[in-house]
Amino acid sequence: MPSSPLLPACLVSALLLAAAPVGAQMANTPAEPAPEKATSDKSSDKAVPLSKGEIQLSFAPVVKRAAPSVVNVYASHVEKRSARSNAMEEFMRRFFGEDRPGRGPGGMPGERAQRSLGSGVIVDASGLVITNNHVIENMNEVKVALADKREFEAQFVLRDPRTDLAVLKIKSPADIAPMPIGDSDHLEVGDFVMAIGNPFGVGQTVTQGIVSALARTQVGSSDYQFFIQTDAAINPGNSGGALVDLKGHLVGINTAIYSQSGGSHGIGFAIPASMVRAVVETAKNGGSLVRRPWLGARVQTVTPDIAESVGLDRPTGVLVASMQAKSPAEEAGLKRGDVILSVDGQTVDDPEAFGYRYALKGISGTADLGILRGSKRQTIPVKLGPAPETRPRDSLKVRTRTPFAGATFVNTSPAVSEELQADLPDEGVAVTAVDDGSLAGRAGFRKGDVIVAVNGMPIASTKDLDRLTQRNLGLWEVAIKRGGEVLTSVFGG
């Protein structure tokens, strides 16, 4: 990794020392007399520190700059209880002789609270804090505690479940230290990084390691999978914390670990700073929703067989499988069977990498797609813009006692298709959410399902579905489209 004038000299020395072979480290020292006969003493492979400066090599200067920007995030969901629920809680408390979960402050019934603990990073002097969406998901109150023990109330500014990022804003910030957002595209495997956060709620903790891998796409914690992998110890509570380079810049937001025990096994994942920057810029500009460019094409992985058939020496890029009418892809002249190899000169190896790179391009201007068509490579400019809402969503949350109860439905459109990452018809009704434990959940409905017909009647809009769910029908025959197949199930009334 190239040195920087911003780095303390001792850290530059540390990198040079770590990168050089032992012989090189000793090159400027007087030669030792050769031993009279060989020995098996392995201590000869180790180098003695040659100066006080080498003994005192430390990451402390970087930590001092970065740590004040990392915060603890305390989120909670406070739910008012009904009188009947309060009476039951009081009965349970008296019967078992203990304070039951969900009691209000001071042991008084009336509220039920769910709590979440994570980390966050101050990224703007106005008080903006970036964290993981899963830290504050379903929460309605949040506090932020700084490294100097000050606590602030915070408000929700933006939630972006597709990237698992969220932005909070500290109320009445004073003397806060934002962390500069670095360039994650320049990270290399082997670079030193540090993870700063609040693991297990023990307080701010710093761990150090290296970048183990880049562009990890099979993690499964968000729609845009392009993670930095590190062996710096990341544990529960580190979520939303900072992955920091040796300049003290934010290069990632720690979000997930691979573990069978719940503790760190040296495989942690962070959302790259390039995606973090896009979300933060949206919040700075007053947006509450991150808008991303729409291509209007479905792409798939290039397998070894496909690579051989199109003349590639290895499986890389993404194959254009289909396109929507009047989409940017169609208007740009993309064709089914084209292989997209790059986005603005940055290579893409799989659909996840393509989705990540394309999502960062914004919703104005153009992006140059490098493609392979037949045996010819060419560049095609594609106009950037958001997926259109071709008709109102008319969101419907079904509450009547039917198989649909607890699910949320919307009218389909290219924008809905983009958000659900699914090929949806231009006219139809799609499931966007299913409550845990609901009748719809027990019936097997999933996010992304399209309701085709109910009792033989086509469903073209949420109004059609709403009218049917108001009826007291004995049986419900429901046809849904899922993954290209139409499935039919019958439920009792």
Among all residues, which ones are annotated catalytic?
134, 164, 239
Number of neighbouring beta carbons within 10 Å of residue 216: 18
Q: Are 232 and 269 in contact (CB under 8 A)?
A: no
Q: Which amino acid is located at 404 in the chain?
A: F
Residue with tokens 């390039």: 274
* Per-residue tokens: 320: 């254009």
Q: Are 452 and 465 in contact (CB under 8 A)?
A: no
Q: Are 425 and 460 in contact (CB under 8 A)?
A: no
Is the C-alpha dihedral spanning 212, 215, 217, 223 positive or negative?
Answer: positive
Instruction: Count CA atoms closer than 13 A to 3's CA, side-chain side.
Output: 14
Q: Are 212 and 189 in contact (CB under 8 A)?
A: yes
Instruction: For strands 396-397 and 376-383, give the pairing.
Output: unpaired
- Residue 84: which H helix or E strand, with range? helix 83-96
| Whole-angstrom distance, CA of residue 417 vs CA of residue 447 | 12
* Per-residue tokens: 241: 């914390």
- The C-alpha angle 159, 136, 109, rounded to 5 degrees, equals 135
| Whole-angstrom distance, CA of residue 297 vs CA of residue 301 | 13
Instruction: Count CA atoms closer than 13 A to 307's CA, side-chain side.
Output: 14
Quickly list DSSP for 4-34.
-TTS-HHHHHHHHHHHS-HHHHTTTSPPPPP
| Whole-angstrom distance, CA of residue 368 vs CA of residue 390 | 26
* Per-residue tokens: 373: 């068509």
Query: What separation in angstroms does the CA of 217 have from each of 228, 331, 352, 473?
Result: 10, 29, 6, 46
